[in-house]
Amino acid sequence: MNNYPTITGLGFAVPEDVWDNHRLEKLVDTTDDWIRSRTGIVTRHIASKKDSTASLGAEAARNALHNAGLDPLEIDVIIVATMTPEMLFPSTACFIQKSIEAKNAAAFDISAACTGFIYALSIGSSMITSGAAENILIIGAETLSRIVDWEDRNTCVLFGDGAGAAVLSKNGKGGRIVDTIIRSDGSKAKLLYMPGGGSLHPASEDTVRDRMHYLKMSGKGLYKEATTSMADGAVRILEKNGLDIGDMDLLVPHQANIRIILSTAKKLDISAEKVYVNIEKYGNTSAATIPIALSEACDEGKIVNGSNVVLVGFGSGMTWGASLLRY
C-alpha cells in the first residue's frame, strides 16, 4: 500500500502583546498610513520576556496535536523551521520535544528562512512516503522581534512573532500533500541576512557596535525576486501535476507584504477571493506565516473537501518553494 502524507491537524500560537502601527510611530519616523499602504500591516504580535521561539512553537504544536487527535508519544519526528532559534545549539526542536513530552520523537531544525515550512513539508512528506515515519510534527516558529533593528524604519515595521504547526500522518484524513518543489539561489544571499553571530563574524564588541546582530534587507531586490518566485512556484507545482491555474481553489502565500501578494495574484491572473491574506493581523512571521494562514483558512471554512490548495513561499537564501495540497 502506498504511503500518502496527509496534514491531519493544524494549530498556531502568537504572543499576547499586540503592537499597532501607532506604537511604531513613537519608535521611528513612520506613520500608520505609510505602513498600511506599503505593507498592508495593521498590527503584529510581539514576544514578551516570557515568550521564546520554543515556547510559541510548543503551544502551536499542542494545538495541532489536539486537532489531529494524537498523543505526543505517537510523534516519530519533530522538524522545526526557524531563523530565530532558541540558541545555536541544541536545536529548538529538542526544546519543544521536551516541552510537549514527545519522548519517542527524533528532533531537528532546518534553516530556510521564510520558505522553511515548505522545506519542512518536503522533508516530512518524503519520510512518510519512504516508510521512515508515520507521524511527523512540523513547526514554523519565530521571534523576529529579537533580531529586528528597532531604529531601522524600513524593516522594523514588517515583522512579528508567532508559530504555526502541522501534523503529518500516513494515509490520514485531511489535506493530502500531493507534491512539493523547493529551490534556492545562494548568489542572492545578501538580499536578506544577519551578518553577526555566526562563525564568520562571531559576537564581539565590534559586531555589537556595528549592529551586525540585526536583520539586514535589500527591499527593492527582494520585492523583484519575491513576486517572480511565488508566481513561478505556483505555476510549476500545478503544471507538474497536470493542473492549471483554474484548477487551484486557494493560494496560501507567504505573508511578507501585501504588494508582493497582490502582484503575485496579478501575475497568475486570479481574483483576490482565491488568495488567503492575514498579514494585516500578524505582519511577516517568516517560517510561521504559511502554517498560521493555512490554519486560519481551514478554521474559516475557505478550504473544503475537494479543494486544491497551493502554498508558495520565498525567503533568505534566496530560497523558494511550493506545495500542492488536495483536501
Q: Known catalytic residues?
A: 114, 254, 284
Q: Where are the alpha helices (DSSP H) in the chain?
A: 21-25, 32-39, 53-68, 92-100, 116-130, 205-209, 219-240, 258-268, 279-282, 289-299
CA 308 to chain centre: 20
Q: What angle do CA 114, 43, 61 make, to 5 degrees?
A: 50
CA 302 to chain centre: 19
Q: Locate cell 475537494: which residue?
A: 306
Read out DSSP for 284-327?
B-GGGHHHHHHHHHHHTT---TT-EEEEEEEETTTEEEEEEEE-
DSSP H or E stretch at residue 107: strand 106-110
Strands 43-45 and 175-184: unpaired
Q: What residues contact residue 98 under an 8 Å CB cut-off, 6+ apart?
A: none
C-alpha span between 250 and 60 (Å, rounded):
23
3-class state of residue 255 by DSSP: coil
C-alpha span between 103 and 285 (Å, rounded):
28
Strands 308-315 and 319-326: antiparallel
